[in-house]
Amino acid sequence: EAELNCSSSDESANILQNVEGNYTFAGTVLNGTNMWDFAVSTMDSAGNILQSNAYGTNLSEYANYIIQLPDAGYAVVGYVQNSTKDVLVIRLDQNGNLIWSNTYANPDDDYARKVILTDDGDLCVLASSYSQNISTSVAYVLRIDLSGNLIWSNTYEFTYNSRVKDIVFDNNGDYIAAGVNGIYGLLMKLDKTNGTVIWSNNYGTSPGAASWSSVVSTNDGGYLLAGENSGIGAGVKDISLMKTNS
């Protein structure tokens, strides 16, 4: 077990094994002015910290997800607390030096949850958007290039208490998003060129409430989903797996 010498309130987001065989993780740290910053650290297999950097402004920034890029650098996503919460994406080189930092503003509060590297070398960012209209839930998906330029962004509205939790790309390079739409498990396919919905399906059996937490694209062109279902199994909530065709 290894700990960074940080404040008592610091949090880690996710961790990956990098191309050098070490472990890099993103998180959020409290700085000296009581504001929150993105933080990225790398440790070796023995738990020794090789490098640790914080990235912040005079605002608070919260990191949620990190991936490694083909140049061995990193992309980190989260959000910045401004007058509203806005999606924040930073790109780092292999040594942790900041290449660029961009915010992507929507009228509502937006929280970037995940980023993937697409098959054609761009970044696809999955965010949740929260508006004053409490009767609906909104997913916010952005495609940006590796220079931080926005290619497109779209919002997708669902019933209240819904959420898109995971996104991948399929064998055609289009985006597959999974989550929950009300009491039903949600799976939808987005056109990679502009983000329009190609199809969207709900899955579930009454009175059970299905929710997908992760999705993978399978070799046969279908999709495998994992999540939970309540009300139809032995427990209050049960692990649920589902396989679909294309």
Residue 127 predicted with pLDDT over 70: yes
DSSP code per residue over the chain: ----S--TT-EEEEEEE-TTS-EEEEEEEE-TTS-EEEEEEEE-TT--EEEEEEE--SSEEEEEEEEE-TTS-EEEEEEEESSSEEEEEEEE-TTS-EEEEEEE--SSEEEEEEEEE-TTS-EEEEEEEE-S-TTEEEEEEEEE-TT--EEEEEEEEEETT-EEEEEEE-TTS-EEEEEEETTEEEEEEE-TTT--EEEEEEE--TT-EEEEEEEEE-TTS-EEEEEEEESSSSSSEEEEEEEE--
Q: What is the pTM of this model?
A: 0.89
Give the pLDDT score at 7: 45
Quick one: pLDDT band at residue 33, thresholds 50, 70, 90? confident
Report the C-alpha gap between 138 and 207 in whole angstroms. 24
Q: Regarding predicted confidence, which is higher, 233 or 103?
A: 103
Nearest to 208 by CA among 168, 243, 242: 242
Quick one: pLDDT band at residue 29, thresholds 50, 70, 90? very high
Mean pLDDT over the full length of the chain: 88
The residues facing 79 across adjacent strands are 62, 87
Average pLDDT over residues 184-213: 88
- Does residue 24 contact residue 15 with C-beta atoms inside 8 Å? yes
The residues facing 85 across adjacent strands are 81
Give the pLDDT score at 234: 58
Report the C-alpha gap between 149 and 151 in whole angstroms. 6
Quick one: pLDDT band at residue 160, thresholds 50, 70, 90? confident
